């Protein structure tokens, strides 16, 4: 029986161990461990990759969202509209700046339903935060159109979607600001926490650049109270190296997704790209009315699967203060009861992929 892990990060490390050790040696010998030149080099590469003028490395993906919202001036009394089916950090960042999250339902692709957006806007709404969930770009054309109509800022929660494109444009260039995560489980990842912010707006860039470094204008002058949220030099150098591999890895993610799609579409609801999108499949999420039994069956065959995310944000204990209840977002709630994520990462072998496909087919044919 072939054991299939949901993810195995050690395979990629082993494949590039010599290069990574050399990066560590170079940075270790330099003595410049914080705000070293490698950070600026990564930011330049990342900005070019995402098709924007500016990029900033920060401590993690959550801080990327927080700093983006701060750049907009979002704070107490303001509302930010997002979706209820993301990771905790999406709402945590909104609350961290003192604002209130307001949710809208999603489409069957798990991303924000723009048709629900307009009715959620109030005179307190200051920003919209679409989440490119599973590495699939949101419908940014319609979202941006509505945001401009109401003079709202748009921040892409692009934590899972670097390398994705919408109508030919890179994720990270589709809103006023985009926030990425470099967490070890992300498609572009480092060896610890890290984050990235991209923007074309010079004012936002300069403010975030100061805010991430305690709000300092220079070594001794603080212009405003900021944060300590800097991407370490070592991690930035690693991110630069991995960015050169990202297109190759994205190609592999999409190849695996295509095998799953072809082999499983008769048994499960599987994701399909639209003509507007180029998805990077950070997660390959399928839907089954027999999810519990299917996951248990696959586990019995050594195949690990996950649920992203079983408890929606508006139903979390911490969200009780916002007054939502079950039934408020019927599409997201329905999908949360059937969704499951299959193993997908570039180092997944063909034998492992075939084991996943055959395991699911066997479950349904038996």
Q: What is the pLDDT of residues 81-101, one digit of tens each?
A: 999 999 999 999 999 999 999
104 within 8 A of 113, measured Cβ to Cβ: yes
Over residues 52-72, the mean pLDDT reads 98
The pLDDT score that the predictor gives to residue 45 is 98
The pLDDT score that the predictor gives to residue 25 is 98
Average pLDDT across the chain, whole number: 98
The pLDDT score that the predictor gives to residue 108 is 97
Cis amide bond preceding 200, omega within 30: no
pTM greater than 0.95: yes
The pLDDT score that the predictor gives to residue 119 is 96
b/e map 134-155, b = 16+ CB within 10 Å: bbbbbbbeebbebbeeeebbbb
pLDDT digits (tens, 9 = 90+) for 99-117: 999 999 999 999 999 999 9
Fold of 246-365: 3.90.1150
Distances in whole angstroms, Cα of residue 287 to Cα of each of 88, 230, 264: 22, 39, 11
pLDDT digits (tens, 9 = 90+) for 145-161: 999 999 999 999 999 99
359 within 8 A of 305, measured Cβ to Cβ: no
CB 358: neighbour CB atoms within 10 A?
14
The pLDDT score that the predictor gives to residue 366 is 85
The pLDDT score that the predictor gives to residue 286 is 98
The pLDDT score that the predictor gives to residue 167 is 98
pLDDT digits (tens, 9 = 90+) for 335-352: 999 999 999 999 999 999
Over residues 75-84, the mean pLDDT reads 98
Sheet holding 125-128, edge to edge: 54-58, 195-199, 177-181, 153-157, 125-128, 79-82, 100-103
* Dihedral in degrees, nearest 10, Cα atoms 21, 26, 29, 31: -110
The encoded tokens of residue 19 equal 């290069």
Query: What is the helix, strand, coil percentage profile of the chain, to 5?
Result: 45, 15, 40
Closest CA to 254 of 180, 173, 163, 336: 163
Tell me: pLDDT of 290 over 90: yes
CA distance 196 to 179: 6
List the beta bridge partners of residue 115.
Answer: none
pLDDT digits (tens, 9 = 90+) for 158-190: 999 999 999 999 999 999 999 999 999 999 999
Domain edges within the chain: 9-243, 246-365
Tell me: pLDDT of 1 over 80: no
Which class is 9-243 in CATH? alpha beta
């Amino acid at each position: 029986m072939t054991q299939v892990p949901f993810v195995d990060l050690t395979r990629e490390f082993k494949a590039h161990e010599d290069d990574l050790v050399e990066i560590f040696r170079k940075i270790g010998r330099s003595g410049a461990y914080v705000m070293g030149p490698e950070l600026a080099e990564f930011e330049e590469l990342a900005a070019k990759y995402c098709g924007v003028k500016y990029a900033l490395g920060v401590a993690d993906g959550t801080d990327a969202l927080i700093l983006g919202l701060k750049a907009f001036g979002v704070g107490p009394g303001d509302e930010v509209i997002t979706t209820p089916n993301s990771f905790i950090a999406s709402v945590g960042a909104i609350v961290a700046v003192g604002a209130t999250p307001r949710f809208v339902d999603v489409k069957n692709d798990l991303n924000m339903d723009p048709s629900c957006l307009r009715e959620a806007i109030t005179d307190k709404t200051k920003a919209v935060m679409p989440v490119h969930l599973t590495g699939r770009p949101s419908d940014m054309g319609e979202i941006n159109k509505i945001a401009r109509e109401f003079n709202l800022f748009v921040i892409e929660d692009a934590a899972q979607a670097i390398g994705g494109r919408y109508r030919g444009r890179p994720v990270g260039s589709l809103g006023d600001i985009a926030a990425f995560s470099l967490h070890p489980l992300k498609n572009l990842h480092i060896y610890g926490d890290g984050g990235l912010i991209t923007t074309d707006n010079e004012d936002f860039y300069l403010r975030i650049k100061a805010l991430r470094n305690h709000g300092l204008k220079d070594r001794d002058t603080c212009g405003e109270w900021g944060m300590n949220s800097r991407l370490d030099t070592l991690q930035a150098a690693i991110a630069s190296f991995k960015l050169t591999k990202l297109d190759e890895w994205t190609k592999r993610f999409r190849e695996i997704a295509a095998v799953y799609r072809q082999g499983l579409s008769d048994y499960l609801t599987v994701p399909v790209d639209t003509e507007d999108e180029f998805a990077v499949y950070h997660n390959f999420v399928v839907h089954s009315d027999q999810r519990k039994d299917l996951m248990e069956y696959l586990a019995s065959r050594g195949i690990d699967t996950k649920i992203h995310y079983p408890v929606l944000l508006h139903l979390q204990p911490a969200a009780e203060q916002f007054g939502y209840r079950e039934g408020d977002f019927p599409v997201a709630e329905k999908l949360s009861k059937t969704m499951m994520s299959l193993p997908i990462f570039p180092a997944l072998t063909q034998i492992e992929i075939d084991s996943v496909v055959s395991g699911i087919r066997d479950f349904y044919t038996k």
